[in-house]
Amino acid sequence: MTPPPDDILLAARRGLRFRVCKKERPPRQGRWRTVHRDVDALETALALAVELAPSAEAAVFVDGFTYWTSATPDLFNSTVLKLAPG
């Protein structure tokens, strides 16, 4: 899974840090538990989330906003990269 190239550049230029989480069981009512915090590269955060995805729903967050989740793996919320404080 690769994020859009423009997202990679924007995240790096703004110095954004990412949090990789997995959803605790039961999935629908479960809470997000942080597995990796302060990941400084978007590609790394996404790769870590994809590794978690087979066993649980996984997500990448930036400053409290959801960037990506394994529930909708083809959707990247690029807008949050512009909204999150850098």
Tell me whether residue 86 is in a domain.
Answer: no
Cα–Cα distance between 62 and 33 in angstroms, integer?
A: 14
Domain around 76: 5-81
Locus of tokens 């690029």: 78
Tell me whether residue 14 is in a domain.
Answer: yes
Enclosing H/E stretch for 49: helix 42-52
Q: What is the pLDDT of residues 40-59, one digit of tens each?
A: 999 999 999 999 988 889 99
Tell me whether residue 21 is in a domain.
Answer: yes
Tell me whether residue 31 is in a domain.
Answer: yes
DSSP 30: P
- When divided into structural domains, the chain yields a total of 1
Question: Which pTM does this prediction carry?
Answer: 0.93
Write out the two tokens for 68: 């990506």
Higher pLDDT, 30 or 81: 81
DSSP 17: -
Tell me whether residue 30 is in a domain.
Answer: yes
Burial class of residue 16 (count of CB atoms within 10 Å of its CB; 0-12, 13-18, 19+): buried
